[in-house]
Amino acid sequence: MFRRLSAVSLLCAWLCASGAMLDVAQGFAWARMFAGYARTRSFAAAARETFDPGKPCAICRAVGRAREASGQHGPAVPSAGGQRMLMILERPAAFFAPAAAGGWPVEPAARAEARGSDVPVPPPRAGIA
C-alpha cells in the first residue's frame, strides 16, 4: 500500500512540475467551450469556434497567464544538451538469514545387516506330483 501511495504521489508531483496540469486545465476549457457551442451550432462550427485563437474563454486566458508566469509555452520536454533526471524504481534484494552454525545431522546407517547363514528352504508340499 505504501509503495502504491508513494508512486501516485511521485506521479502527481511530476505532472505538476512538468506543466501537465495546465494542459489538463486547457483540455477542460476546450471541452466546456465545445459543449457550449455544440448546443446551438453544428459539430464542425463548434470545433472551429472552440479552437479559434481570437475567442479564448476565461479559463483559456487564465491558463495562458499561468504559462507566461511560469515561463512555459508547452509541455516540458528535456533538451538534448540539458540535464536529465532518471527515475528508477529500486526493489530491495531478498533477505536470507544464515543457517544456524553446526554440522549436518547424523543419521543411522541405511544398510541392512548381512546374514551369516543360508536362507531356509521351505518344506516340500505333500500331494504335489
Q: What are the boundaries of each domain within the chain?
A: 19-70
What's the mean pLDDT in 90-118?
Answer: 74
Copy the grid coordinates of residue 49.
469556434
Copy the grid coordinates of residue 63.
491558463
Percentage of the residues of the chain whose pLDDT score is greater than 70: 78
What's the mean pLDDT in 44-51?
Answer: 90
Mean pLDDT for all residues in the chain? 79
75 pLDDT above the threshold of 70: no
pTM for the full model?
A: 0.46
17 pLDDT above the threshold of 70: yes
Copy the grid coordinates of residue 10.
511521485
Q: Distance between CA atoms of 53 and 37, rounded to whole angstroms?
A: 15
